[in-house]
């Protein structure tokens, strides 16, 4: 945490992200007004002490809608990122530590899923199950999860080719122990960076899906749907579109800067220091070679490194 706060992007990212998370937490217990309450007499009220961001055409308080929209956005982003983490790491492990035929099959599956845009996947799911927050979470989680898996696969392949992993196999360590004691601790810094960036992608994707009517259904406020509802009045009331648009931009910027800060804090080549020891990490990651890109010809698999030969050397 100290290394993260020493980084300028990390400080700004942590501050912006904390503000969004705090707004989401506050909306659970307090909002100035009911964000779904319609009051025709309060239509298009300007910014004032009673309505900090003004009101919309139906008299709904925009600041209250922004607070509740933060809650929806944070929930969708965190849930989608959790799905992406489980799916990405799972696919990466299956593509690297399983026998070659199985690993190649999962590697090709990842390549196929990468070709499907998140919005297209969400449209297909919404057409079958109807638009909802969980449909958006599932679509975003799958869309970002395959990207996380593609990057994580290269990291795992690099770890499997390390001398200490080969030595552990020669000593009789099983695949589960290798995953728990060597692979997961060594891919954690890269995974943190990928997931923090996935948070920003999830926020943007949730807003886009809500704008298209495939995300959180009404009457629950959502930043994307606020933009869609207020868009016809952009020439008459341009200021009302500023608040949801600014909320999306600052949230995405905060998560992206947080990811940059985590990368600087965990990568000794950027921070100028040594990687913090943890698990079975051997030496400094600063001298690591380029990670394999996941080519089946260079990616180790259980069939190629799990059994020692007659001389006791792992194959």
φ, ψ dihedrals at 314, nearest 5°: -60, 140
Query: Each residue of 229-263: pLDDT tens digit?
Result: 999 999 989 899 999 999 999 999 999 998 888 88
Query: Each residue of 81-119: pLDDT tens digit?
Result: 999 999 999 989 988 888 888 888 888 888 888 888 877
Here the tokens at position 133 are 């927050």
Tell me the pLDDT band of 307, cut-offs 50, 70 and 90.
very low
Cα torsion at 232, 229, 204, 25 (round to 10°)?
Answer: 140
CA 33 to chain centre: 32
pTM here is: 0.80
Q: Could you state, in order of their start, the residue ranges of all structural domains in the chain? A: 2-29+72-305
pLDDT value of position 268: 60
Q: Cis (ω within 30 of 0) for the bond into 71? A: no
CA atoms 168, 174, 180, 183: torsion sign: positive
Q: Yes or no: say if 305 and 314 are a contact pair by the CB < 8 Å rule.
A: yes
Fold of 2-29+72-305: MetI-like fold (1.10.3720)
What percentage of the chain reaches a pLDDT higher than 90? 41
Residues 6+ apart with CB under 8 A from 298: 157, 292
Q: Yes or no: say if 39 and 53 are a contact pair by the CB < 8 Å rule.
A: no
In our burial notation (b when 16+ CB lie closer than 10 A, e otherwise), range 102-126 reads ebeebbeebeebeeeebbebbbebb
Which 8-state DSSP code applies to residue 220?
S
CA 18 to chain centre: 16
Query: Each residue of 136-168: pLDDT tens digit?
Result: 899 899 889 988 998 898 889 898 888 888 898
């Amino acid at each position: 945490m100290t290394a993260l706060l020493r980084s300028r992007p990390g400080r700004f990212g942590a501050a912006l992200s904390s503000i969004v998370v705090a707004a989401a937490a506050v909306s659970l217990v307090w909002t100035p007004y009911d964000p779904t309450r319609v009051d025709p007499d309060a239509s298009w009220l300007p910014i004032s002490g009673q309505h900090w961001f003004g009101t919309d055409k139906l008299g709904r308080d925009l600041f209250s809608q922004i607070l509740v929209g933060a809650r929806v956005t944070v929930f969708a982003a965190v849930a989608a990122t959790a799905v992406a983490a489980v799916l990405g790491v799972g696919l990466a492990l299956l593509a690297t530590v399983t026998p070659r035929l199985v690993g190649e099959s999962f590697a090709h599956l990842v390549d196929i899923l990468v070709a499907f845009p998140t919005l297209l996947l969400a449209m297909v799911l919404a057409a079958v199950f109807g638009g909802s927050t969980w449909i958006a979470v599932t679509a975003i989680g799958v869309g970002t999860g395959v990207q996380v898996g593609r990057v994580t696969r290269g990291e795992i392949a690099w770890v499997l080719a390390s001398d200490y992993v080969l030595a552990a196999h020669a000593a009789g360590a099983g695949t589960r122990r290798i995953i728990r004691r060597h692979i997961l601790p060594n891919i954690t810094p890269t995974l943190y960076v990928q997931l923090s960036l996935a948070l920003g992608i999830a926020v943007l994707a949730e807003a886009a899906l809500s704008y298209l009517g495939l995300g959180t259904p009404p009457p629950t406020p959502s930043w994307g749907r606020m933009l869609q509802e207020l868009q016809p009045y952009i020439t008459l009331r341009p200021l009302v579109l500023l608040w949801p648009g600014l909320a999306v931009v600052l949230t995405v910027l905060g998560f992206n800067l947080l990811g940059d800060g985590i990368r600087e804090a965990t990568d000794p080549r950027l921070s100028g220091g040594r990687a913090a020891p943890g698990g079975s990490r051997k030496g400094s990651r600063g001298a690591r070679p380029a990670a394999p890109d996941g080519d089946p010809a260079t990616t180790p698999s259980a069939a190629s490194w799990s059994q020692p030969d007659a001389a006791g050397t792992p194959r």
